[in-house]
Structure 1
């Protein structure tokens, strides 16, 4: 009777996906290779083709992980808001807080957008991410304000990475202006 083979590292696939984000952040997509990912994940190079059909699948999975974890942070921050003022402040935190403030996250988002130009699956990842973000924002703001805030997240984080003179107070004023005339939602 044959004995079933158990993987020595049942989390290996997830480790590879997470390591892929690290490699992209350090080397960009153009410098991301199976060899670099395997080294970063501390797995044998053969694991790359065992778990993934190719680099494109692995990049797509890595960007899905980025989108999923970022969306989860949006939800966590916005779900904590119970008043209109708290929801506005939650938006400020999303734009200026630890989600986007690191060079790693900004680099990964730039690489994601660049890679999506030629990859429909990755464009779908972005659309899903935006949809999830709008659901979380939409719990607090009307549909048009939700779209404006979702776009402001992307735009202001990019601008802030190049223009450090965009202060927390400026972001707070922008969010206030965008939300000043929105229709209150039933949840607040």
Structure 2
């Protein structure tokens, strides 16, 4: 029956997504090395046989989960870019938008993100997706910096490196004041690039 087949397909899609979400949770809690068919199935609340039914291998399951999580992060970054690149967006709110993006990022995704970077470094088929996240983050930073009149191509890469560094430290040693410190560091960075571009546009002895 067509209706029954459709229901079976929908249940299959739901179960497959449960497994993908469970992979990210296991990565967050135990690292890539902790991902097994049994651990993922237990986290997803489904039979272990489901993990082997939907995916050809453990690597296949991890790659699918990592790729899906990366796609979600790229979409979040595109939404952030839409916000910071609006003509009516106050330049002074730029840092606030970045802080809010980091604050609202799910902890398990943030932890998994850095695990993914290392995992993808050994999986050429995933490196393009890692590059997509890095480029998307730089695009958001570049859009925000242009609101402050900063066009230096190195500025966006520096902002991304600063945010990633704070995110990594926040994972390793959580502390409530870290976001406040990041807010201040981003403000100092943007002010510094404004001053640098102004100095470089002036007479040589201004440097």
TM-score (norm 2): 0.72
Q: How does 1:22-171 map to 2 (within 5 A)?
A: 22-81=25-84, 82-95=89-102, 97-99=103-105, 102=107, 104-141=108-145, 142=151, 143-162=153-172, 164=175, 167-171=178-182
Cα–Cα, structure 1 residues 171 and 12, in superposed 2: closer, same or farther, change >3 Å?
Answer: same
Given that 2:23 and 2:62 are in contact with CA atoms closer than 8 Å, whether structure 1 keeps it comes out as: yes
Distance 2:4 2:176 in 1: 60
Distance 2:172 2:23 in 1: 26
The structure with the largest helix share of the pair is: 2
Deviations 1:114-167 (A, max 9, x none): 322322223332112112222233322233221111111211211334453863
**SS of equivalent to 2:144:** coil
Distance 1:53 1:175 in 2: 44
Gaps of 5+ in 1: 184-188
Distance 1:129 1:138 in 2: 14
Rg bigger for which structure? 2
Question: How far 1:60 sits from its partner (Å)?
Answer: 1.4
Identify the range of structure 1 (109-118 vs 23-32) with the bigger mean alpha-carbon deviation. Answer: 109-118
**Equivalent residues, number:** 180
Cα–Cα, structure 1 residues 39 and 47, in superposed 2: closer, same or farther, change >3 Å?
Answer: same
Distance 2:66 2:154 in 1: 27
Gaps of 5+ in 2: 146-150, 198-207
Q: How much is the aligned-residue C-alpha RMSD, in angstroms?
A: 2.9
